[in-house]
Amino acid sequence: MILVLKLNQTEEAVHEVEGHVRELGYEPHTLWGEVRTVIACIGDETKHASLEALVNLPQVVEVLPIQKKYKLISKEVHAEPMPVTVEDVRFSAETFHMIAGPCAVESLEQTVATAHAVKKAGATLLRGGAYKPRTSPYDFQGLGEEGLEILAEARRQTGLPVVTELVSERDVEKVAGVADVIQIGARNALNYALLTEAAQSGKAILLKRGLSATLQEWLLAAEYIAKQGNPRILLCERGIRTYETATRNTLDLSAVAVVKQETGLPVIVDPSHAAGRSDLVAPLARAGVAVGADGLIVEVHPDPEHALSDQAQQLTFSVFGDLMAELAPYVSLGGRSGFRT
Amino acid sequence: MILVLKLNQTEEAVHEVEGHVRELGYEPHTLWGEVRTVIACIGDETKHASLEALVNLPQVVEVLPIQKKYKLISKEVHAEPMPVTVEDVRFSAETFHMIAGPCAVESLEQTVATAHAVKKAGATLLRGGAYKPRTSPYDFQGLGEEGLEILAEARRQTGLPVVTELVSERDVEKVAGVADVIQIGARNALNYALLTEAAQSGKAILLKRGLSATLQEWLLAAEYIAKQGNPRILLCERGIRTYETATRNTLDLSAVAVVKQETGLPVIVDPSHAAGRSDLVAPLARAGVAVGADGLIVEVHPDPEHALSDQAQQLTFSVFGDLMAELAPYVSLGGRSGFRT
Amino acid sequence: MILVLKLNQTEEAVHEVEGHVRELGYEPHTLWGEVRTVIACIGDETKHASLEALVNLPQVVEVLPIQKKYKLISKEVHAEPMPVTVEDVRFSAETFHMIAGPCAVESLEQTVATAHAVKKAGATLLRGGAYKPRTSPYDFQGLGEEGLEILAEARRQTGLPVVTELVSERDVEKVAGVADVIQIGARNALNYALLTEAAQSGKAILLKRGLSATLQEWLLAAEYIAKQGNPRILLCERGIRTYETATRNTLDLSAVAVVKQETGLPVIVDPSHAAGRSDLVAPLARAGVAVGADGLIVEVHPDPEHALSDQAQQLTFSVFGDLMAELAPYVSLGGRSGFRT
Amino acid sequence: MILVLKLNQTEEAVHEVEGHVRELGYEPHTLWGEVRTVIACIGDETKHASLEALVNLPQVVEVLPIQKKYKLISKEVHAEPMPVTVEDVRFSAETFHMIAGPCAVESLEQTVATAHAVKKAGATLLRGGAYKPRTSPYDFQGLGEEGLEILAEARRQTGLPVVTELVSERDVEKVAGVADVIQIGARNALNYALLTEAAQSGKAILLKRGLSATLQEWLLAAEYIAKQGNPRILLCERGIRTYETATRNTLDLSAVAVVKQETGLPVIVDPSHAAGRSDLVAPLARAGVAVGADGLIVEVHPDPEHALSDQAQQLTFSVFGDLMAELAPYVSLGGRSGFRT
C-alpha cells in the first residue's frame, strides 16, 4: 500500500506514521517528493493486517491499495488460457458458442420445442431456468424440480448440454444432477456461500456479473469458485446498473475487453438481459462478438407474448434463426470455430 | 398497465393492439389524446400475465407499469405503523435506538469489552459479525460458530440483544439460536432463498439495502420476509453504489424519507458502511437522525487499527461515547424516547 | 400525463383531483381499475402547464409523463433519415466514416503529420482540439486561435474536413471560420446557450453525449440545435459515467441502437474517450461498427507518451493503420460504403 | 505518480520503465516489494507532462495519481476558513443562512410577494431565475432581462440580496448588474468559459455541483473561479445522478462532510432540486443542517401548482414558514447564528 501524506509534514510527524506502518508488519519507504511525501509500505498484504485504518491519522490524506487479490484466475500469475469444456463444447479464444433457450422452463412442450429449435439454428447449449429469482414474491418462481426433469428430457432429446440457475444452497445436489453448467445469477453474484457450494459440485459455473459489481468484485467472486479447486468458470457480462433507463441494464462491453486482459477464463455476453427488449438483442449480440467475447447467451421462447417471465426480451424461433445467420460472418471474422448455423 | 402508442396510428392498428390486450386478460380503454393515443389496460396485474411483451408491437412506444407489488408492508394497504420489538427494545416512530459493536467478532475479550463500552455509552443492541462475507476469499471470513458463542456470552454479560449477520442457509439454525436480530447484508439483499429461511426463523430481520437496489427492490425484498408471516423487519439504509469514490458508498438519506412514506416499518441508518471512514460517521449519524430514521447502527472496536476488517471506519470507545452525547439533542428534537447516553 | 391514485379513493376524492386536472387545462378520463384507479389527462402538454405538481395531492401516488418532447429530430414525427454531408463526406445509414486526429493541436508539425497519416490510413475527417476544456485550470488549455490556424493549414494540405471543439460562445465566429464540423464536448452537452450559437453558425455539429446525460436529454439537446434551423447533427456516444472505474467511462453501445430507433440522425462512436486506454480502442471500435454506428472518432498522435493531454488513449500512426485494416471487414459486413483503408 | 508493475519483472524490464520516467522529467524510485514492484516518480506533476501514457507499457499495470490539483481553495494549502460575505450576510462556519425564492421569476407580483414572504419567514437572500436552462427547448426559458428587472425591484422592496443564475457568457454584464450572487447551475458546472467570466465579474458565485461531478471535478471547477482572483464561492450540493429514480436526484450529504474537510469555502445544500418533490424538502433540509452545511437554498412559490417550472418541488409560503420554524432548533444545535425565523 501507498500512504499519501498531507503537505508540509515535519520529519517527526512522518516518523510517527512510519512507526504505525512498522507496527502493522510492513516496512515503510518514505519518498520526500517535490510537492508531496508518500510512504510506500513493503509487505505481503495477504499476510498482514490492512493499513487502511491509517487514513484516519492526521498526517495521511489517502491510502492507495496496490496488490490485486485474485491469483488462481489471474493471467498475470498464470499466463495460460483457461478454456472450459462442457461435454463436447469447448469455450476458448479459438471457438465461439451460442447458449440459447427460454428464460424459464414453463412446460415440457415449451422447453423441448425450444431446445430443438435453437439446436437447429446452431446453438450448442440449452439454457432455461427451473428456479427463478424474481424481484416480486408474487411473480412466477419457476417449476423447481419438475423444471429440472423437463430440462433433463430436453437434453435427452437434443443432446444439448444444459445451463440452469441455482438460487439456493439447498438445491445444489438437485441442480447439479441435471445441469452441465450451473448458472449463478446477477442477484447472487456476491453470495459467496452459494458460489462455494456450486463450485464444490464440480460442474462448470456460468458466473453472471452482479448488478453493480466492479470488475474486481466479479473476478474475486470467480476466485471464490477457483479456490474450491474448480477452474471451470464462464464469466458472463449481462449489463450493469446505471442511471440510464432506456435499456433494462447498460451492457458494459469495455468490461469484456478488460476482463480478457486480466484472466484466461472465457467471457460470455448476455444481450437479452442487458437490453430487456428483443429488438435490441441483435445489435448487442453483434457487438458482443466483435468486442471479442467467447460466446453468447440468448433467451428464446416459442411465444414470448405469453411467457411467464421476461416477455419483452425473448426471441421467437424465427427471429433467433435470423440472428444466428446474421452473427455467423462476425464470428468468422474473429477466426473462431464451433459456431454453426 | 398503460400502453403508449406511436403517433398517427390508424383505428385498425389500434384495434389490433386492443386485441392483444384482451387476449392477455385485460380490458383495454383507449384514450385518443390530442397528440398521442394511450391504452389503459384494466385488470389485476398480479393475476394475469404481464403486458410487457407488447412493447415489441410496432404500434407501441412504451409500456408503463402502474401497480406496486408490495402489499403486506405497504402503508397504502395497511395504514398502521409496524413497530418492531426486540426483547425490551421497541423500534418505532416514537423511539430511537443505537445498535453498536464491532464489524467482526474477533475474540471474546474484544467483543465483551466492546459490548460493555457501547452499553455504557447508551447503545441498546449489540452488533457483531460471526460470519463475514468478504470481497476476497483470502480475507478474514469470521470466527463462525465460535463467534456466535462469543456473542452469546456478550449478551449474557450485558443483557444487550444481539444483531448478527447470516450469510448461508446452512447456518440459519445456528445463527437464530443466538441472534435476536438476524442481519441480511447488502450482498445478500436480493438472495431470496436466504431471506425466506431467515424469515421462517421468526427472528426479527435487519435487512440492508442492496448495493444498487432500487427502493422498489428493497421493499419487495422485505415483502419476501413478510410473506413468510414475519413482519418484524428493520430496513437499513447503508449507502448505495454511485460514480463517486470519495466515500465508500453514497448514503441515500432521501431514501429514508421516501421509504417511511411507503411503509410503516422502522428504518435504520448505517453511517459506518456508507462513509467507510470514521471521521465521517458523526456528521452522517446526525443527518440520519435529522432526516427521521428510527435508529442507527455504528461500528465500534477497542483498537480499530488492528481490527481484522473495516479498519478505517470503526470508532474507538471514546469517539463513540462522544458521538452518543452529540446525537442526544438531535434525537430529542425529533421527540423520540429510548435513546439514553 | 397519467395520474396514478392511491388505493381505495372515494368518488369525492377522485372528483377533487379531476377538478385540479381541468383547472390546469386538461380533460380527465378516470379509469376505475380492479386494483387501482388512474386518471388519464388529455391535452397537449406542450401548450399547457405541467401536471407534475399534482404528485403532492394526498390522493396521488405518481404522475407519469407520456409525450416525448423532441419533434424535429424524431423518427416518429419525420420517418425519413437525416444524413449529414460535410464537403464530400456523407454520414448516413449506407456509409461509414472515420474521424481521426490528435486530442489537442499542439504544433503545426504534430497536426499536419497526423493529418497526413490518418488520411493515408483511410480517415475522411480530421479531428483536433484548439480549445480544450480541462478538469484542472492548471492543465494545458489548447493553443486557441493559433490552433485554429494550424487546423486550417492541415486541411489545406490534406483536403480533410476539420472537426474541432467549441467551448465558449465568444469563439463561435473564429471556430466556425475554420471548422467544417463544430464539436460540442461532453461537459458542454447541456450548455444550451452554446448549442444555440453553434447551431446558428450553420456548420454541422458533432454533439457528444453529456457525462451522465439520459438519451432523452441528449436528444433534446440535439433538438435545441435543430430548432435553430440546423439539422446537420452528428450524435456522438463517448461513454457515460458509472460506478465502474476500470475504464474512464462506460461505453453505452445499447444507446447507439436505441437512438437509431428514435432519430434518423447519424450516430458516431468515440472509443478513445470511452476507454481512456489505447489498448481498448480496437475492441470497442469493432463493437461500435458491429452495433450499427455510422462512424467512429478516434484519437491519434505521433508520440502519445509526450502528448499534452490524453496521453494514455491516443494511438500511434502505426496502431491506427492496423486498426483501420482490422475494421474494414466489419464495415463491409454492414454493407456500408465510404470506408477505405 | 506511482507506477504499479506487473508481477515477476526482470531488472532490465524495470530499468526500461525507469528510463521512460526520467525522460518525462521525473525521478524514479523503485521499490521491490515482497509481491509486487512499484516505481514512485518524484517530480511536480503540475510542471511536467503526465505519466499516464506509461499505463500502455507492457510492464505496467496501473498508474496512480498522487497530487491534488486544487490549491487556492485547498484547506491543506491554506488552512484558514474562506467565509463569503454578501452585503450584510456572512456565510461561514459560525453562521447559517436560508436562500429562498421561486424557481423562476414569472412576474413582478409573484416575485415580490415571494420575496416578502420568505423574508418574513427568516430567509436572508432571495433566489429566482431570470434565465432558465430547460431540458426541452419548448419549455419556459425564463423572462430574461425583464426577469432581472423584477429581481432588482424585489431587492429594492425587501433589501434581500439576490441569487440568480447565469446561463450564457453573453449575459454576464446584465446578470452581474443585478445579482449579488451569480448562480452557476448543474448543467453548466463544468462550463469553464462561463465560470471564468462569472468569476471576473467579481460577484460572489454559487457553484452547483454538476449532475455527475466527482468531488475533485467540483472543487477544480471552484478553482477555476478562484484562479480569476475571486475567492467568494459558495459550493452547493444539489443531488447527483444515480440509478435510483424515486427521487429526482440523490442528495449526497457525505459530500458536504468531505468537501468541508477539503476546503474552507462555505457549502450550501439544495433540498428542493435533490428531492424534486415538496414533501421531501423538510427532512432533507433538516439533514442538511445536521450534517454541517452552512446554508440552504429552497424553492418557494405563491402557487406551485400553477408555476411555470418545477411545479412539484416548490413550497407554498405557509409550508416554507413551517419549515423555517422546524429548522431553527437544528441550526441552534450547531451553534450557528444568523438564522432567524
DSSP assignments along D124-152, one per residue:
SEEE-BSS---SSTTS----THHHHHHHH
C16-C17-C21 Cα angle (round to 5)? 120
Could you identify the residue written with the cell 416477455?
A311
CB C290 within 8 A of CB C330: yes
D216-D219-D220 Cα angle (round to 5)? 80
Within 10 A of C79 (CB to CB), how many other CB atoms are there? 9
Task: Select the residue from A70, A138, A242, A244 to test the C interface by mutation, using most C Cβ atoms within 10 A.
Answer: A244
C-beta atoms of D42 and A36 within 8 A? no
Find the CB nearest D311 among C53, C168, C216: C53
Torsion angles phi and psi, residue B297, rounded to 5: -130, 120
> Which of D211, A340, A102, D85 lies closest to C209 in space, CA to CA?
D211
Report the distance separating Cα A194 and Cα A176, nearest Å: 13
Reported confidence tier of residue B56, pLDDT bands at 50, 70, 90 = confident
**A251, pLDDT greater than 80:** yes
Q: Grid coordinates in use for C187?
A: 461537459
Report the distance separating Cα D190 and Cα D184, nearest Å: 9
Reported confidence tier of residue B248, pLDDT bands at 50, 70, 90 = very high
Counting one residue from A and one from D, how many pairs have CB atoms under 8 Å apart? 70
Report the distance separating Cα C116 and Cα A110, nearest Å: 59
pLDDT at D49: 74
CB A304 within 8 A of CB A278: yes
Of the listed ranges A39-43, D84-88, D277-281, the one predicted with least confidence: A39-43
| pLDDT, tens digit, 9 for 90 and up, residues D32-45 | 887 789 998 988 77
Torsion angles phi and psi, residue A287, rounded to 5: -65, -35
What residues in C contact D211, CB-CB < 8 Å? 190, 210-212
B159-176 as b/e: b if 16+ CB within 10 A: ebbbbbbbbbbebbebbb
C-beta atoms of B257 and D280 within 8 A? yes
What residues in A contact C284, CB-CB < 8 Å? 253-254, 257, 291
> Which of C298, A42, A258 lies closest to D61 in space, CA to CA?
A258
> Which of C230, C295, C329, C324 lies closest to C94 in space, CA to CA?
C295
pTM for this predicted structure: 0.96
List, in sequence order, every beta strand (DSSP E) within B65-209: 84-86, 89-91, 97-101, 125-127, 162-165, 181-184, 204-208
Report the distance separating Cα D134 and Cα D130, nearest Å: 12
Torsion angles phi and psi, residue B213, rounded to 5: -75, 135
What residues in A contact D2, CB-CB < 8 Å? 2, 38, 40, 64, 66
Q: Grid coordinates in use for B330?
A: 438531535
C-beta atoms of C217 and D135 within 8 A? yes
The reply to whether ipTM tops 0.85 is: yes
For residue A6, the 8-state DSSP code is P
Find the CB nearest D69 among C49, C138, C312: C138
What residues in A contact C261, CB-CB < 8 Å? 279
Report the distance separating Cα A260 and Cα A74, nearest Å: 10
CA dist list (Å): B31 to B39, B56, C24, C36: 6, 20, 19, 18
pLDDT at B69: 83
Instruction: Calculate the dihedral angle through the C-alpha atoms of C304, C308, C309, C313, rounding to the nearest 10 degrees.
Output: 0
Averaged over D116-123, what is the pLDDT? 98
- What are chain D's partners, defined as 3 or more CB pairs within 8 angstroms? A, B, C
Minimal C-alpha gap between B95 and chain A (Å):
31
Task: Select the residue from A50, A62, A141 to test the B interface by mutation, using most B Cβ atoms within 10 A.
Answer: A50
DSSP assignments along C254-266, one per residue:
HHHHHHHHH-SS-
C-beta atoms of D66 and A38 within 8 A? yes
Minimal C-alpha gap between D333 and chain C (Å):
31
Element (H, E) at D100: strand D97-101
C-beta atoms of D46 and C138 within 8 A? yes
Domains of chain B: 2-64 (3.30.70.1140), 84-333 (3.20.20.70)
pLDDT at C90: 97
Averaged over B294-313, what is the pLDDT? 95
Query: If you measure CA to CA, which chain D residue comes closest to C223?
Result: D137
Q: Grid coordinates in use for D172?
A: 454576464
Minimal C-alpha gap between C46 and chain D (Å):
7
What's the residue count for chain A? 341
C-beta atoms of D291 and B286 within 8 A? yes
Q: Rounded to the nearest 10 degrees, what angle do helices D317-333 and D108-121 cross at?
A: 30
Averaged over D74-85, what is the pLDDT? 94
Q: Which residues of A touch C (CB under 8 A)?
A: 212, 214-216, 239-240, 242-247, 250-258, 261, 274-275, 279-280, 283-284, 286-292, 329-330, 333
Q: Which residues of B touch D (CB under 8 A)?
A: 212, 214-216, 239-240, 242-247, 250-258, 261, 274-275, 279-280, 283-284, 286-292, 329-330, 333
> Which of A40, A53, A39, A49 lies closest to A6 in space, CA to CA?
A39
Find the CB nearest C243 among A212, A239, A247: A212
Find the CB nearest D242 among B250, B258, B289: B250
**B201, pLDDT greater than 90:** yes
Find the CB nearest B217 among A135, A191, A223: A135
What residues in D contact C311, CB-CB < 8 Å? 49-53
Minimal C-alpha gap between C243 and chain B (Å):
4
Averaged over C175-185, what is the pLDDT? 98
Find the CB nearest A220 among B52, B136, B223: B136
pLDDT at A286: 98
| pLDDT, tens digit, 9 for 90 and up, residues B61-108 | 989 888 778 899 999 898 999 999 999 999 999 999 999 999 999 999
Torsion angles phi and psi, residue D96, rounded to 5: -150, 130
| pLDDT, tens digit, 9 for 90 and up, residues D80-107 | 999 999 999 999 999 999 999 999 999 9
C-beta atoms of D34 and A40 within 8 A? no
pLDDT at A253: 98
Find the CB nearest D136 among C191, C220, C279: C220
Find the CB nearest D136 among C69, C136, C210: C69
C-beta atoms of B135 and A191 within 8 A? no
Task: Select the residue from A173, A305, A318 to test the B interface by mutation, using most B Cβ atoms within 10 A.
Answer: A305
Please tell me which of B7-11, C318-322, D30-34 the model is most confident about, judged by mean pLDDT.
C318-322
Question: B76 CB contacts (<8 Å, ≥6 apart)?
Answer: B68, B262, C6, C7, C61
Three-state SS letters, B165-186: ECCCHHHHHHHHHHCCEEEECH
List, in sequence order, every beta strand (DSSP E) within chain C: 2-5, 27-32, 37-42, 60-64, 84-86, 89-91, 97-101, 125-127, 162-165, 181-184, 204-208, 233-237, 267-269, 295-299
